[in-house]
Structure 1
Amino acid sequence: MKFAVLVFPGSNCDIDCYKAIEDTVGEPVDYVWHTATDLSPYDCILVPGGFSYGDYLRCGAISRFAPVMKEVAKAAAEGKYVLGICNGFQILTEAGLLPGALRRNLSMKFRCHDTVLKVANNDTPFTKNYAAGEEIVIPIAHGEGNYYCDDETLARLQANNQIVFTYKDNPNGSVTDIAGICNEQGNVLGMMPHPERAVDALLGTDDGKRMFTSILNAWRDRHGAASVR
């Protein structure tokens, strides 16, 4: 399995994502610049956190037009795995790959601390190594993590089981405590908390490690290969 970590001007979690892949699954991983026009060699695309293009206009609003995003949309349509974390989640909503939008935190302050998440849906390629309803500790670091969607979209998310993670103690005002959602096909996930910063107990929690092993196991299941723990 081969992973791509996208890099935009202003990305600052790309190295974290790269190291998380190296340390948790040991599969090939490359940095891919935002001007790239071919993602065909990759099985999973990580859209990392940071402040792409300085978060001008809106978070992710300029990145949405980067050449590589056409390839991300193509990869998603082909059923490849796409994981957007923090700014990456914002970019995926701006690009229309996930519904809704991320607004300023209700506190109007940047929030940076551990949060307790509930695994609301463990039947996705990103969460199959978690238990349904399990509580995990994953850090956040954002000023615009307040997930919003209209009532019709929320009803659709709930009906299709697209709400993947919820906050135990909502830190930003997200509607119905949403911390992460997937698309209807289940192969695109966006989340505000940072699993790549939670892959070693030395960091305070290693609860994010199973997200990356879940992705690898989902890919191996698809290709008839043995799973990893």
Structure 2
Amino acid sequence: MRAAVIVFPGSNCDRDLAAAFRELTGTDPVMVWHKDTSLPAGLDIIGVPGGFSFGDYLRCGAIAARSPICRAVVEFANRGGHVLGICNGFQVLTESGLLPGALMRNSGIRFVCKPVALTVATSASPFTNAFSTGDTPVFPVAHHDGNYTASPELVAQLRDEDRVAFRYVDNPNGSVDDIAGILSENRRVLGLMPHPERAVDAALGGTDGRGVFASVAQALVAA
């Protein structure tokens, strides 16, 4: 399995995400700079990391979504490639149009940084197949604009199409329907606000996040 991690000015979880891919897939991911205009050949999955791309100026993820490499990421996803966007990466995916809805300022108007319990809303995806529906993994969150916002019609569509991947047990940011992560229509793109890559080593406080990367590895090997 060959992975790539996109790096923007202000990314601060790119190395964590690369380490998680390396740990769970056994291969070193390729680090791709935001000014590159093309992706390496033979990729199976792209990771868009957390952080504060371009200082979160304008809107979180808005500038990054218009960087040269994001055009290639969109093309990769539209060809059926797998993409995992975490925290700021989730924001980039909504700003680029790969996922619907928007990430707004937290309802408490403050930065939230703590471990949170989640519910696995579906195990029927390349990112969640190592879990069972209803499992309650704990991942850290660290965001100021993690309030997932969508119209009632879109929320109903996500429910009907089984595209809510994770929900918060105790919603830390006001996200509609307690949504913590959603899937694209073809289920090959996941946007997730909590950080599974920060929960893959017991020395760092937990290993529940390993399930996301083990799921990806399993799904891509099976494909």
TM-score, L = length of structure 1 = 0.95
* Cα distance in structure 2, aligned partners of 1:20 and 1:144: 24
* Cα distance in structure 2, aligned partners of 1:25 and 1:221: 13
After the TM superposition, which parts of structure 1 deviate over 4 Å for at least 4 consecutive aligned residues?
Answer: none
* Aligned equivalent of 2:129: 128
1:41-52 map, 5 Å: 41-52=42-53
* SS of residue matched to 1:84: strand
* Cα distance in structure 1, aligned partners of 2:84 and 2:125: 12
1:71-90 map, 5 Å: 71-90=72-91
* Cα distance in structure 1, aligned partners of 2:43 and 2:168: 31
Q: Which runs of 5+ in 1 are unaligned?
A: 223-229
1:81-120 map, 5 Å: 81-120=82-121
1:10-21 map, 5 Å: 10-21=10-21
* Aligned equivalent of 1:33: 33
* SS of residue matched to 2:31: strand
Q: Which runs of 5+ in 2 are unaligned?
A: none
Amino acid in the other structure paired with 1:118: T
Q: Is the Cα–Cα contact under 8 Å of residues 24 and 217 in structure 2 kept in the other structure?
A: no
* SS of residue matched to 2:20: helix
* Cα distance in structure 2, aligned partners of 1:22 and 1:72: 20
Q: Is the Cα–Cα contact under 8 Å of residues 116 and 138 in structure 2 kept in the other structure?
A: yes
CA RMSD in angstroms comes to 0.8
In the TM superposition, residue 24 of structure 1 has moved relative to its aligned partner by: 2.1
* Aligned equivalent of 1:206: 207
Q: Is the Cα–Cα contact under 8 Å of residues 18 and 28 in structure 2 kept in the other structure?
A: no
For 1:98-123, what per-residue CA distance to the aligned partner results, in whole angstroms no more than 9, with x for missing partners? 00000011111100000000000110
In the TM superposition, residue 77 of structure 1 has moved relative to its aligned partner by: 1.3
In the TM superposition, residue 36 of structure 1 has moved relative to its aligned partner by: 1.7
In the TM superposition, residue 28 of structure 1 has moved relative to its aligned partner by: 3.1
* Cα distance in structure 1, aligned partners of 2:25 and 2:201: 13
Aligned length: 222
Percent pairwise identity: 52
* Cα distance in structure 2, aligned partners of 1:191 and 1:16: 15
